[in-house]
Amino acid sequence: MEEHVFEHTPVMLNECINGLNIKPNGIYVDGTLGGAGHSLRIVEKLKDGKLIAIDKDDTALEVSKERLKNFNNVVFVKSDFKNFKNIMEEQNILGVDGILLDLGVSSYQIDTPERGFSYRFDGKLDMRMDTKSGITAFDVVNNYSESELARIIYTYGEESFSKLIAKKIVEERKKHPIETTMQLKEIIENAIPKKFHGQGSPCKKTFQAIRIEVNNELGNLDVVLKDMVEKLNKGGRLAVITFHSLEDRIVKNVFKELSTNCICDKSIPICVCNHKASVVLVNKKPITASSAELKINKRSSSAKLRIVEKI
């Protein structure tokens, strides 16, 4: 496979690498391998260390194996990073020194029409990160009830016109199946009054919502973050890049809980939870892309990086 097939500019590359504080003999995990942009920089800093590279996208794995072919200390795993606990058991790894999660959709996935992620290209409604399993966007759009669609679009897309969009989708699919991204785009644009279209596409929030539902992106995210912290060696770091407020809120809340000694209700006069902090916040406020990066990679504009260190 030619390298240009999977182009993706890694977001906040230097900030992530610096944040991981990489030790040459450490064990590191890239839970969202993508095009290996972050992974390449990690393995370049390793000597006797090892990298576990995880992705559920076959194309990402194929391209990354080629890009990292000169390194013999990389273990590739086709899986969802949410299976982290099982993956560590299968690899007989008791502890790791750093973990990176980039929760964004890759440029390759967005820009490949047949993957069905984007409202900018005409393609079949798919949106699966793992193209060999799970429900598709077609299934969601054509089979979910009107109330389910409205809930997903409102909850995952934070779209105020969710009910109107859901109603319009159901009306249109009664005439014929909604099969392509352009069909769905037209429906959304017709459902939202033109005066509310704004500068960006009015489709963005709904497409995001359906993608999150298809890939269960928020499900068990809080659980796996805690599993990852548990596996960190003392001084090990977990770095997470998020791209929308729903993800960031989960990461922020988990990190806040894990970095706090007592999580009792404030109305209780003494601590009864016996909760002890397991991490410290490396950055109290999220790190965002520099002005220089924003000029060359507009997709980094919504990215937030949070890092914790095991104590």
pLDDT per residue as tens digits for the range 74-102: 999 999 999 999 999 999 999 999 999 99
Banded pLDDT at 11 (limits 50, 70, 90): very high
* Over residues 283-306, mean pLDDT: 94
Residue 119 lies in a domain: no
Q: Check whether residue 181 and residue 226 sit in a common domain.
A: no
In the predicted structure, residue 4 carries a pLDDT above the cut 50: no
d(C-alpha 191, C-alpha 161), whole Å: 8
Residue 281 lies in a domain: yes
Model confidence pLDDT, tens digit, residues 29-80 = 999 999 999 999 999 999 999 999 999 999 999 999 999 999 999 999 999 9
Give the orientation angle of helix 13-20 with respect to helix 37-44, to 10 degrees. Answer: 40
Residue 118 lies in a domain: no
pLDDT of residue 8: 64
* Over residues 285-304, mean pLDDT: 93
Name the nearest CA neighbour of 141 among 115, 111, 168, 120: 168
Q: What is the mean pLDDT of the chain?
A: 93
Helices (H), 144-217: 146-157, 162-175, 181-191, 204-215
Prediction pTM value: 0.89
* Over residues 277-290, mean pLDDT: 96
Using the CB atoms, write b or e for 66-76: b if 16+ within 10 Å.
ebbeeeeebeb
Q: Check whether residue 256 and residue 280 sit in a common domain.
A: yes
Enclosing domain of residue 31 = 3-103+218-310
Banded pLDDT at 5 (limits 50, 70, 90): low
CB count in 10 Å sphere of residue 306 = 22
Model confidence pLDDT, tens digit, residues 209-232 = 999 999 999 999 999 999 999 999
For position 78, which CATH number holds?
3.40.50.150
DSSP code string of 61-80: HHHHHHHTTT-SSEEEEES-
Residue 142 lies in a domain: yes
Banded pLDDT at 7 (limits 50, 70, 90): low
Banded pLDDT at 1 (limits 50, 70, 90): very low
* Backbone region of residue 308 per phi and psi (left: phi > 0; alpha: psi in -120 to 50; beta: other values): beta
In the predicted structure, residue 244 carries a pLDDT above the cut 80: yes
pLDDT of residue 198: 78
Q: Check whether residue 98 and residue 222 sit in a common domain.
A: yes
Q: Check whether residue 209 and residue 224 sit in a common domain.
A: no
In the predicted structure, residue 6 carries a pLDDT above the cut 90: no
Residue 306 lies in a domain: yes
Q: Check whether residue 196 and residue 229 sit in a common domain.
A: no
The number of folded domains in the chain is 2
Task: Please say which residue of 189, 215, 241 terminates a domain.
Answer: 215
Q: Check whether residue 298 and residue 149 sit in a common domain.
A: no
In the predicted structure, residue 152 carries a pLDDT above the cut 60: yes
Name the nearest CA neighbour of 182 among 172, 174, 195: 172
* Over residues 190-205, mean pLDDT: 89
Q: Are 116 and 178 in contact (CB under 8 A)?
A: no
